[in-house]
Structure 1
Amino acid sequence: MIRKLFAGAGMAVLWLLAPLASAQPQAASFDLVVRAPDPLKEILERNLELRRYREVTDLDDAEIARLIVLAEKDARELLATQGYFAPQVRISREPGTRPTLLVAVEPGRARASPRPASRSRATSPPAAMPRPCRSGKGSAPAGRCAPASPSRRPAGTARSRKPRGS
């Protein structure tokens, strides 16, 4: 009896979930085409932020225009990680029932990185910093100020402590 009850409940769940499983995924709101040399093309196709927004189905023209501006900066940053610091990036929109965004890249000449700091130069330790005088008259060269005393009371005049609440 219990088996029949569980079997019936399982069939009911499958019957209710069937329309969800057969639902077609919604089409992307735009197509993305990248034209760049092969290693860079793969990096851009995989990592451009535009790729995430393809799945948003209710993008209007103003939002797509904003994404185009952001995508150019994003593409430049991705290319800089590969050593291309002055690429030519053009993003255009081709109209249609579903617009196509075309990302065209001319990477230019690759550089390893901005000039590295020279390691051959000997480094000297920093010069001794003047320490401030306690008198408040500015600073004096190291060794010229008297060492700071732990207390401003003259010696032998320590304050006696009384227990609280007495």
Structure 2
Amino acid sequence: MTTKQNIKRYSRKELEELMQSIGEPRFRAAQLHRWLYSDRASDFHEMTTISKSLRETLDRKYFLPQCSMSSTQCVEDSSADSTTRKFLVQLHDQEAVETVLIPAEGRNTVCVSTQVGCPLHCSFCATGYMGFTRNLNAAEIAEQVFSAERMMGVYCSKFSGQPVRSRRMKQ
């Protein structure tokens, strides 16, 4: 028996290749991507713009977790402003990362992790002492934002942070 794969691990280009490999037109990848990341379907059978036979095929071969993390919990932080919320997010491989929601007047900021651990070893930061384990995949990063939205009733639309730092470091 073949183990089901997490469909959210595929990039949009990989979804196109997947659709073509099973005899579906490339535009099905755009429909699937929209269901995963815009409509945030929690089950393949909700994807009503996709044929029933394709939904059944996807359901047999892939799993679609509502969240790519196994659990999210609020962690109290006495050192932070009382309105700032830290969430410990456990990933499927049992690694954990932190997501922080920082409310401000008229907006909310969500700081997401892009890596498990950190290779920089900055003297002021405890994360560096953990060492670097791995980069998160796109689904794990997006799911941190989706989790914050669900828990706090906010909608996030802009990203910045570690990926910018990482790009600068490589130059």
Q: Which bracket does the TM-score occupy, shorter chain normalised?
A: under 0.3
Q: Whose radius of gyration is greater, 1 or 2?
A: 1
* TM-score, length of structure 1 as denominator length: 0.23
Relative contact order, CA 8 A, sep 6+: which one is greater?
1
Q: Answer 1 or 2: which has greater strand percent.
A: 2
Q: Answer 1 or 2: which has greater helix percent.
A: 2
